[in-house]
C-alpha cells in the first residue's frame, strides 16, 4: 500500500511540466505517493548498478510510445472520434542540449490519473522477483529490461528527474506525474483554465550531468537508428532552436517487405523491438501466405530462454495485426507449446473491429494458426538438417516446451518426433529417434525409456542394469512433461515406447555380450513366495528379474500400471502409490542366493525381516525413503545383532 500526502506545485505559473508556456495557469495541488518496495529497489539498482550500455532507456521510451499509438489505432477503428483532428500517428523526440532535457512525445492512447498511478508507481507482479534477482546478479541490464516490462524506469539511469504529462483519448483532463526516483512521485491534474495538451503522452527527462550527451541530436539519431529503426510508427526529431523536423524512421512495416529486401541487421533490430529480446535469433521465419487466406508472417526463434517461458499462464508473445493495424499481443494464435516464438502475424482477412472474444473462436484465425504452426515446424526441421549445431541450442532451450505438443497435439506428433532430441545411456550428445531406431539391437522390438528427476538419478537406477549389460540404448527422460506424453505416444517408426520400470523386461531374447551369462542364478521361486507372504499388500508380486545385473532388488510397475515416475507425479506428494508395485529380485545376487539357500532351515525365521529390509532397500534405490523408518531400523538392528552374535 502506498502512502499519500498533499503537496503544492512550486513551479512558476508561466511554465508547464512539458517546458512550454501554459497560458498563465499554474498546476493545482497534487498528491505525493511513495513507490512500492519493488519499485524502490529497482530504481536503486538501475541508478547504482554498472550497465554496459545506458542507451537502452531511449529504446524503452520509444517502444512504450509506439505501443500507445498502436493501441489508439486499434480503438479508433470502432471509435473514429478518438483520433479526430489527428493527421496520423507519430513519435516526436525533442532534444535541448542547453537545458539538458530530452522529451519523448506520442499521440497515442494516453493515460488517466489512475492509470498513471498504477502504471508508473508499481511493477506488475509477474516476473518482478525474478527480474530483480537477475538484475542484482548481472552487471549488464540491457538484455533484461525489455523482457520484464519495466522499461520506463530505465529513464532514471540518465535522469535526475522525470516528468510525464498524459491525456487519455476521449478525456478532457490531463495528469502530471513527476519523480526524482528517490522513493516517491507526485500526481496532479492540470487546472481547468490550463491549455490542455493534445491526446497522448509527453515524457520529459531532466538529464544528469554525466548523461548530458543524450540531449545532442547526433546521439539521439544514433540510438534510434540502432534500436528503434523498425518501430511501426514514424519517429521525428526536433532540436531546440531549429524549426525543421528531422525524420529518423518512416514507420514502414518490415514484415510486409519482400524477404530479399531485408538485411540481417534489420531483422535483428526488429527482433529486439518486437520481442524484447537482445540475443541473436536462432531462426527467422519470414513469408507471405496467399490463397484461401492472405497473411504476412515474421517470426523469430530466440537462442536463449525468455524469463517467462514456464509462466503458468503459458501465454504467447506473437503480435496480431490486421492490415498493419495492431489488434492484440496475446491472441491465442499459436499453440502454447510454441510460446517461445516472438514476432508478428498480419492478416488481410480478419475484420478490423474484431473483438478479443471473437478472436478466441474465429475460424480464419484458427486456419492461420494451423498454417503458421506447420510452417514453423517445417523450418525447424530444415534447421535441424542444415545446421545441427544451431538446432541443438534451440532444442536445449525449448525442447521441454516443444514436448508439451506431443501430449497436447496428437495430430502434430509425427512432426514433433522428427524434431525431438534425447539424451541416452549409450551416447554423449543428443540423439534423434531416427538415430535410435537405426541402431536397434537384434531382436529388439521397442524403444526403451527411463523417467527420472535428473540424468544422474536415472543412470543410477537399478532398473537399467540389465539394459546396460546388453548394450541396449535407453532414452533418459528427465523433463516433467515426459511422464505425460510418453504414456499416450503409440510409438515411432512402428516401434512402441516401453518403460524400463514397467512390466516384464522381456530381455531374455536379447543376447548378453560374449563372456557374460544370465545363468547361474539361484532357484528363487520359494523365496519369492515367502517374501510376498511377508510383505502382503505392499507389493503386487515378487518375481525373479532379468532387468537386474548386480543389485539385489528393484521396484517396477505392474504390466498395466503407471510407470514408477508417473506414479510419483500422480500420487500428489503423499508418497503412496496408486497401485502396489512389483518387487523384482536378482537370482544372481549373492544376498538373494544366500536367502534362497537358507529357505526351510535355521535362517527361515529371518525371512520376514529380510523381506521388509529388501523392500525398503528397493524404495531407497527408487529415490524414496522406507515407508516405515522406525520399523526399518528395528528390523535392521535385529539382523545385525543376530549376525554379530553368531
List, as residue ranges, the binding site: 60, 64, 106, 111, 119, 126-127, 147-152, 201, 356
Say how many C-beta atoms besides its own lie within 10 A of residue 625's C-beta: 12
Instruction: List the beta bridge partners of residue 344.
Output: 298, 319
Residue 114 to residues 45, 110, 154, 176, 196, Cα–Cα distance (Å): 26, 12, 22, 11, 18
Quote the strand ranges of 292-351, DSSP E.
295-301, 317-322, 325-328, 342-347
Calpha distance 190→105 (Å, rounded): 18
With the CA atoms of 569, 572, 574 and 575 taken in that order, what torsion angle do they form, in degrees rounded to the nearest 10?
Answer: -10
Calpha distance 27→540 (Å, rounded): 80
Strand order from edge to edge, sheet including 30-34? 4-7, 30-34, 184-189, 174-179, 159-167, 200-207, 101-106, 91-96, 235-239, 246-249
Of residues 369, 362, 317, 363, the one with CA closest to residue 344:
317
Calpha distance 346→568 (Å, rounded): 45
> What φ, ψ does residue 179 adopt, rounded to 5°?
-165, 150
546, 626 in Cβ contact below 8 A?
A: no
Calpha distance 212→208 (Å, rounded): 6
Of residues 169, 160, 175, the one with CA closest to residue 117:
175
Calpha distance 31→2 (Å, rounded): 11
The end-to-end CA distance of the chain, in Å, is 73
Element (H, E) at 145: helix 142-145
The C-alpha cell that represents 434 in the structure block? 531416427
SS3 content of the chain, % helix, strand, coil (to 5): 40, 20, 40
Calpha distance 222→327 (Å, rounded): 30
Say which residues have a Cβ less than 8 Å from residue 641's Cβ, sequence separation at least 6.
none
Residues of the binding site for ATP = 60, 64, 106, 111, 119, 126-127, 147-152, 201, 356
Instruction: List the beta bridge partners of residue 430.
Output: none
3-class secondary-structure state, position 82: helix
Beta pairing class for 497-499 and 447-451? parallel
Amino acid at each position: 500500500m502506498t502512502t499519500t500526502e498533499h503537496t503544492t506545485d512550486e513551479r512558476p505559473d508561466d511554465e508547464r511540466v512539458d517546458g512550454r508556456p501554459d497560458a498563465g495557469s499554474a498546476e493545482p495541488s497534487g498528491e505525493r505517493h511513495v513507490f512500492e518496495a519493488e519499485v524502490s529497489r529497482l530504481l536503486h539498482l538501475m541508478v547504482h548498478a554498472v550497465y554496459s550500455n545506458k542507451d537502452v532507456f531511449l529504446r524503452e521510451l520509444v517502444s512504450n510510445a509506439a505501443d500507445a499509438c498502436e493501441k489508439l489505432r486499434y480503438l479508433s477503428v470502432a471509435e473514429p472520434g478518438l483520433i479526430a483532428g489527428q493527421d496520423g500517428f507519430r513519435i516526436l523526440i525533442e532534444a535541448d542540449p542547453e537545458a539538458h532535457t530530452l522529451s519523448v512525445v506520442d499521440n497515442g492512447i494516453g493515460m488517466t490519473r489512475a492509470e498513471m498511478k498504477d502504471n508508473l508507481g508499481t511493477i506488475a507482479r509477474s516476473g518482478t522477483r525474478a527480474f530483480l534477482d537477475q538484475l542484482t546478479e548481472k552487471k549488464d541490464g540491457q538484455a533484461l529490461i525489455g523482457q520484464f516490462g519495466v522499461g520506463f524506469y530505465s529513464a532514471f539511469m540518465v535522469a535526475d528527474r522525470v516528468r510525464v504529462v498524459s491525456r487519455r483519448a476521449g478525456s478532457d483532463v490531463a495528469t502530471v506525474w513527476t519523480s526524482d526516483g528517490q522513493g516517491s512521485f507526485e500526481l496532479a491534474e492540470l487546472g481547468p483554465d490550463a491549455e490542455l495538451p493534445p491526446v497522448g503522452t509527453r515524457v520529459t527527462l531532466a538529464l544528469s550531468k554525466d548523461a548530458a550527451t543524450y540531449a545532442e541530436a547526433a546521439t539521439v539519431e544514433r540510438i534510434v537508428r540502432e534500436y528503434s529503426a523498425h518501430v511501426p510508427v514514424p519517429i521525428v526529431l526536433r532540436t531546440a532552436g531549429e524549426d525543421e523536423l528531422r525524420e529518423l524512421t518512416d514507420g514502414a512495416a518490415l514484415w510486409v517487405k519482400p524477404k530479399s529486401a531485408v538485411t540481417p541487421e534489420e531483422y535483428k533490430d526488429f527482433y529486439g523491438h518486437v520481442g524484447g529480446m537482445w540475443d541473436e535469433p536462432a531462426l527467422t521465419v519470414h513469408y507471405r501466405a496467399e490463397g484461401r487466406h492472405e497473411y504476412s508472417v515474421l517470426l523469430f526463434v530466440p537462442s536463449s530462454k525468455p524469463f517467462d517461458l514456464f509462466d503458468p499462464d503459458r501465454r504467447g508473445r506473437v503480435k496480431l495485426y490486421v492490415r498493419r493495424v495492431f489488434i492484440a499481443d496475446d491472441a491465442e494464435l499459436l499453440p502454447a507449446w510454441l510460446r517461445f516464438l516472438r514476432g508478428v502475424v498480419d492478416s488481410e482477412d480478419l475484420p478490423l473491429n474484431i473483438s478479443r472474444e471473437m478472436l478466441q473462436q474465429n475460424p480464419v484465425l484458427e486456419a492461420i494458426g494451423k498454417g503458421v504452426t506447420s510452417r514453423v515446424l517445417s523450418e525447424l526441421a530444415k534447421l535441424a538438417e542444415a545446421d545441427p549445431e544451431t538446432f541443438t541450442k534451440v532444442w536445449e532451450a525449448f525442447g521441454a516446451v516443444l514436448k508439451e505438443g506431443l501430449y497436447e497435439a496428437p495430430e502434430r506428433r509425427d512432426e514433433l518426433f522428427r524434431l525431438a532430441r534425447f539424451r541416452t545411456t549409450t551416447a554423449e550428445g543428443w540423439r534423434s529417434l531416427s538415430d535410435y531406431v537405426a541402431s536397434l539391437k537384434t531382436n529388439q522390438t521397442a524403444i526403451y525409456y527411463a523417467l527420472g528427476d535428473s540424468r544422474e538419478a536415472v543412470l543410477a537406477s537399478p532398473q537399467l542394469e540389465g539394459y546396460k549389460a546388453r548394450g541396449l540404448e535407453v532414452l533418459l527422460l528427465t523433463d516433467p512433461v515426459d511422464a505425460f506424453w510418453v504414456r499416450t505416444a503409440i510409438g515411432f517408426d512402428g516401434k512402441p515406447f516401453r518403460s524400463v520400470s514397467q512390466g516384464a523386461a522381456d530381455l531374455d531374447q536379447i543376447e548378453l555380450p560374449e563372456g557374460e551369462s544370465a545363468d547361474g542364478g539361484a532357484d528363487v521361486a520359494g523365496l519369492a513366495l515367502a517374501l510376498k507372504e511377508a510383505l502382503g499388500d505392499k507389493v503386487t508380486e515378487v518375481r525373479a528379474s532379468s532387468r537386474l545385473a548386480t543389485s539385489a532388488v528393484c521396484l517396477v510397475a505392474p504390466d498395466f500400471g503407471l510407470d514408477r515416475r508417473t506414479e510419483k507425479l500422480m500420487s500428489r506428494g503423499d508418497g503412496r502409490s496408486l497401485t502396489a508395485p512389483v518387487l523384482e529380485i536378482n537370482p544372481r545376487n549373492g544376498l538373494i542366493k544366500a536367502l534362497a539357500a537358507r529357505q526351510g532351515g535355521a535362517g527361515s525365521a529371518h525371512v520376514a525381516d529380510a523381506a521388509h529390509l529388501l523392500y525398503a532397500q528397493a524404495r531407497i534405490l527408487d529415490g524414496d525413503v522406507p515407508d516405515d523408518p522406525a520399523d526399518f531400523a528395528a528390523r535392521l538392528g535385529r539382523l545385525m545383532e543376530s549376525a554379530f552374535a553368531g
